Each structure stands twice: as structure tokens, then as C-alpha cells.
Structure 1
Amino acid sequence: MLKRILVTGGAGFLGSHLCERLVEMGHDVICLDNFFTSQKANVMHLLDRPNFELIRHDITLPIWLEVDEIYNLACPAAPGHYQYNPIKTMKTSLMGSINVLGMAKRCRAKVLQASTSEVYGDPEVHPQPESYRGAVNPIGQRACYDEGKRAAEALFMDYHRMNGVPVRIVRIFNTYGPRMHPYDGRVVSNFIRQALAGEDITIYGDGSQTRSFCYRDDMVEGIIRMMNVADNFTGPVNLGNPEEFTIRELAELVVELTGSRSRLISKPLPPDDPTRRRPDIALAKSKLGWQPTMPLREGLERTIAWFRSIDISHYRPPTPRY
């Protein structure tokens, strides 16, 4: 069945790929974005499609639309972006959620919240299952994002329990791929940008901290499957790649794949930076029949090819320190 679908944050890295998939599926897609951290270029190729519409709007302000489904992806998701304006980040998570949930209640629409692995903080349990409640510093530099997303999950479940709104919650682990903002502060984009420029590659700490990297196509597939899951399963459900790599291993692989002569240099670890991060995806496997398929090496090759194809001068660093 074809639906009218709203994607907030639809011009962002993941949002633009989600819009692309939904348009190809034939749905009537409304992309809403305020372009705080995203690029209009990400969705330019969709503007002439009859089933795609772009609206410039800040989701912290109310908007009235008639839709069947809402994917709520609106929020700066990278440290370089969400720490640039932490109050704006928190407003987007809280007020944005209230606005999309109000719309979903009025329209009787299904609504999916793009939450994050950051709700687990610096985890004391490894890998992280959905039952783990996290170890988050509520007054730290990352709290605007971590606590904003945790509060948004609470709002989604309260609207579900109190008003019967059909909600879905996914917790997204590190994701990468073409259309990443080169200056978003994420480790993959930092390393590729520095390697292609022949600059020193900055590793924070000794590089022994770990992450799990999921390619964008796998992530979009998981998000769509969660929205369309048959029963009343609300989640939350982890979406991410369970393969674990150290930051140093990632840096060395990027240097190899780019053919760069960049050196690895170390800087102090930022406050509250998680030491380990790896999803337990047993629930996604059982409920959604989903697991990632893209190997890191191949995904990085595709991402590096995209970075080589862009004019990096068209992208603005979000903060002076980048």
C-alpha cells in the first residue's frame, strides 16, 4: 500500500538515503529539514520526482501536515554538530518529538524515533542489549545529545501508553557512507578527509577504544523494516554492525585504502567518550529478520570514492576547532 510519509531531517546523511528508498518504493514522501547541519544537495536529485516534496522548516516549531507515517530523524547526530549548539540539539530532541508525536496522534499515524546508541553512555555492559539502561553523564558536554535522545524515548513511550500512538524506536549505532558531512566530527569522515588531504590523522586517546561501523544501506533497510514490522512491537531495537574495531585499526585501514602517507598522531580523549561500543542485535534478527551485510573494507571503499568525487570547499566546518 502506498503511503504519505514525512521524514524529518530528510536532507541529512541518513535521512536523504531514507527519502530516496521511500521514493523508489512509490510512496508520497515529504522531506522536512531546516538545513542546520544538512545539505540541500543531498536531495537535489529527488526534486523533479512527482512523489517527493521538500519543506524548509524547523521541527522545534509546530507544523500541520496530513500523513500516514513519520520517520523522526531530525537532530544533529555528530559530536562536531551537536556540541556546536547544545541547547538547539536538546530542543530538537524534546520539542521536535512533541511536535511529531502530536501530529501522529492527530493523524493516527505511525511514528518512528531515530534514537541512538549514545543512550547507553560509556557502557558497563558489553555488547549492549536493549535491556541495558546505560551510564550517561547528565551534565557533560555530550549530555545535550545523550539525554535529549533518552528523554525523546520516554516521550514516545508515554504517547504510546497514554494516547495509543503507534510508535517504533530504533537505537542507531555508528553509521557511515556517502553523503556524510566531511566536517561532522565523526571518526570515519575525519579520517578519510585527513587522509585524502595528506594531513596527520588525529586519534583521540591511544586508539584502543572500539566502535562498530554499519554501512548506510544496511541501516536504512533496518529502519524501514522496523517501521513495517507486523505486530505491535515498539522497540527499542538496536540497529548496528556487531563487528568491533579499534579506532587505530580503522585509521590504519583508511590510510591503506586511500594510499595516503598520513601519520597517526594522538590527542587527549574528549570528556565522556565511550571506551567500547558494540550492539547486541539479537532482537533485530528475531523481530525484523535483519542483520548488516556490508563488510567494513568494501563500505569504506565506496565512502572514500564519494569523498574523492565532491568539492570539499562546498562544505562548511561546523566549529572553529575543525
Structure 2
Amino acid sequence: MAKVKFSETESSLIALFKDNKVFEFNNKTYKILQIGKPSPSKGECKTDIYILAESNDKYREFKISVKQSNADFLENKIKLERAIEIFGSQAQTIIKQSILQIKKSFEDEVLINFEKKGRTEAKCITLGWKFELFNKLSGKKSALLNLNKQQKIDVYSGTNLDSSKTNCLVNGTRVVDSGIAEYILETEPNINKPANYYISKLVAIDDYVVNKNIYFACKALNYRASKDKWDGDRPLAVYVDWKVKNDKLTGDLVFSNPLSVKGNQCGKNVQQILKSLKINKDNFDDLKHYIS
């Protein structure tokens, strides 16, 4: 059976609520006045479904973050700006201290792959590692983040996102704070139950985070000689400072100031080094002569 995409789950839920027009929540009947997916002016917000509903002449917003039950990641390819929004002004210190827990896993890593290894293709040079958040351990460069309750709320709800991601358009109308999620809905990817079933599964994010652990994982960004490219200008939590000295190629791991250095800077540096050594995809194995 084909895997159901998140967008399909999301669209199916919106269509279901539109068709029903009413739902029950905490022993009250609500009539749906407006429903849609908030659209930020840039990037992504945390609310996947926005509902404005009425019960006994009182209006109430339901700002729902949808999580497929088989989904693992919370935030990927995190930028420094987003890390500061989540962790505050000490973001880099928090990330650095977290990463240093697993420093040896970086030191033990093979940084140049001449042959295919696991998911890493042949003729690859590691530029560094991206920083991502998960709801469980993910790979060998992964560990628990020590966050307080408010920081967890920020991760799940987007409390500290800038206005471009909080004051979103819903069906063409800007709605203040529509991008800040207040509820989590964990659901199977296939939507095949009545609307009230899914409403009954809503959990306030303030309650949801109490017993939730959040983990970080560092995923490699590699220069691929076969295509002379890498996968974008990603901020790096740890990067490799490649250089040639006395005809020897060395790569030093840099743990300071995480997310300040990005993939393009590291990738272009590797391109220049390979050009100076007259190494390309066709003679990549010759790089072995320069490895310290």
C-alpha cells in the first residue's frame, strides 16, 4: 500500500470538517464558520488547520497542528534564527553542549567515502552536519535535548516565530496568531472516521509536552564529486574545516558557533581544494595520496 503523504492527510481532514459543518468538543456543539490551512508570507507555520467556530453566540478558534502517527521529525534543517526563536539567546550554547555529549561519534566518522557506504554514495566528502529535532532518537548522532516546558511548547506551537509565520492568511484573509498552534492532533495517515472522532483526539499543546521528550539529530551534508554539488546552503551544527597543508589534506571538526557556517561556504571550499589538486569525479581515488 502506498504511503499517504502528510498533505493528503491534512486535506482529507479539512474536507471532512467542511462536509460536517458542526462538531462536538467538551460537551458543546460548534458550528464551523471558517476553516482552512494558514498560509505564511514565507516559510512554514505550526498550524496545519485553522477553524473559527461558534457555540451559543460565542466564537472560538481551534488552531491545530496535525501529526501523522508514523512521523518522527519535528523540525528539520534548522537555521540559527529559528534556533534562537526556540531556545532563546543561549541557543548556540544549548546546541553546542548537546552536541558535545556525542562528540566521539563525529570524531569516529569517516569523512571521505571512496566507495558507497549505507546511504552515502561513493566519491563523497563530508562538509558538516545539519541540526534537526525529532520525537525519538534518530541515528548514531542523536541524543536527548534538555529543554524546559516553555521551550517544548515553542517547538510544537511556534510561539516565538516571527509575524510572517504567525499572522497568516486563511482563505485570503489575514488572521492574527493563526499560525501559532494550540492543539495537537495525532492521527493515522488515512482519514476514515467521523469528524467528532478526530476532534476528540485534540490535546492542548501545554498538556501534550509534559511527558514528551525532544531529541536532536545531526544529519550529514556531503559534497558529491559525481555531480559536483551538495544539497543546498544548509546551516551546519558541526562543520569540517578542510585545508591542504604541506601537500596533505586535513579536515578539522569545528563545534563552536553552531549554525553560523552554512553548506555553500564549506562546499565551495572543497571545490577549490579539489581544483587545486586536479581531482574530479574521474580520478577521485587519487585523493588518497593527499590524505593525512
TM-score using structure 1 length: 0.23
Structure with greater strand percent? 2
The one of the two structures with greater contact order (alpha-carbon pairs below 8 A, sep at least 6) is 2
- Which of structures 1 and 2 has the bigger CA Rg? 2
More helix by share: 1
